[in-house]
């Protein structure tokens, strides 16, 4: 058998991803929260610039939802909880492959 | 120090109405510890895992009680700010031009924003607002809903106007 170093390297990267899935916090559109309020929440909590916060707010508004954070599951749950504190409708999910 | 304060000028009539709404909100939170019992309270503690019932239950179990507790604390902060500003004293049916200044520290502003947003969510649930254009302009209850939005937007303009 001949080992193929590059192939082994690829395999390890794939395994690392499988062991440590990426999770997302998703904010969903609702007909109640004001656009100005959602922008404020994204700026205050996530520290987004005004432009970035507006871009994500518009994504929520027009596409029905937007991913606002990605990372470890526990962290995404903290973000979702914070969004609920603000009155935003947020969920946690495994990042789609 | 005063630079950090946001000055909210409202009529005494508004202050009374707001205190009444917030009082009802606190009572609702008090009597509804389990979200499922009331759709308006359920909206304040939404399902974080719509596709995973067990994870959703665990998340709810870990977060719901404290979250509703913070709602109550925010609402009570709002009532205490109104009281401190003497906004609720005097004639219970004051003249329309009778205004009062309410000074809000930064942490108070956060409590006010969250509470105004929550009151809108509760009223929207009661009114059956499910879509962006669900707005019956002939229904006087929408006037309260819109007024809360107007005050929320005004506070946002005061702090985010940079």
* A16 in any annotated domain: no
Distances (CA, A) of A80 to A41, B12, B128: 12, 37, 25
Is residue B41 within 8 Å of B32, Cβ to Cβ?
yes
Interface contact B156-A33, CB threshold 8 A: no
Tens digit of each residue's pLDDT (9 = 90 or more) over B64-114: 999 999 999 999 999 999 998 887 777 667 676 788 999 999 999 999 999
Q: In this structure, what token pair is assigned to residue A76?
A: 């995404």
* B70 in any annotated domain: yes
Total domains in chain B come to 1
| Interface predicted TM-score (ipTM) of this complex, two decimals | 0.90
Residue A87 structural domain = 21-94
* A42 in any annotated domain: yes
Shortest distance, CA A61 to any CA of chain B (angstroms): 10
- Residue B49 dihedral angles phi and psi, to the nearest 5°: -135, 75
* B162 in any annotated domain: no
* A78 in any annotated domain: yes
Q: Which helix or strand (DSSP H or E) is residue B56 part of?
A: helix B53-84
* A26 in any annotated domain: yes
* A3 in any annotated domain: no
Query: What's the whole-model pTM score?
Result: 0.87
Q: Would you call A20 helix, strand, or coil by DSSP?
A: coil
Interface contact A90-B48, CB threshold 8 A: yes
Is residue B25 within 8 Å of B75, Cβ to Cβ?
yes
- Contacts of residue A87 in chain B, CB cutoff 8 Å? 44, 114, 117-118, 120-121
Residue B48 structural domain = 2-157
Total domains in chain A come to 1
* A27 in any annotated domain: yes
């Amino acid at each position: 058998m001949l080992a193929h170093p590059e192939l082994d390297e690829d395999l390890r990267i794939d395994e690392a991803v499988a062991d440590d899935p990426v999770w997302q916090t998703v904010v969903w559109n609702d007909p109640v929260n004001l656009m100005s309020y959602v922008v404020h929440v994204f700026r205050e909590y996530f520290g987004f610039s005004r432009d970035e916060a507006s871009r994500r707010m518009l994504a929520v508004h027009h596409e029905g939802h937007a991913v606002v954070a990605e990372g470890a599951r526990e962290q995404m749950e903290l973000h979702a909880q914070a969004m609920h504190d603000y009155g935003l409708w947020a969920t946690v999910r495994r990042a789609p492959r | 120090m005063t630079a950090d304060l946001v000055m909210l000028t409202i009529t005494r009539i508004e202050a009374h109405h707001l205190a009444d709404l917030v009082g009802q909100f606190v009572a609702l939170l008090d009597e509804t510890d389990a979200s499922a019992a009331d759709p308006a309270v359920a909206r304040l503690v939404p399902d974080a895992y719509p596709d995973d019932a067990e994870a959703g239950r665990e998340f709810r179990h870990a977060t719901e009680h404290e979250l509703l507790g913070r709602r109550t604390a925010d609402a009570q902060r709002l009532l205490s700010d109104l009281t401190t500003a003497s906004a609720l004293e005097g004639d219970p049916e004051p003249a329309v031009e009778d205004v009062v200044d309410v000074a809000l520290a930064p942490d108070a502003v956060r409590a006010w924003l969250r509470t105004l947003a929550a009151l809108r969510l509760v009223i929207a649930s009661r009114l059956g607002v499910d879509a962006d254009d669900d707005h019956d302009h002939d229904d006087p209850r929408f006037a309260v809903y819109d007024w809360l939005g107007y005050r929320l937007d005004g506070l946002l303009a005061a702090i985010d106007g940079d």
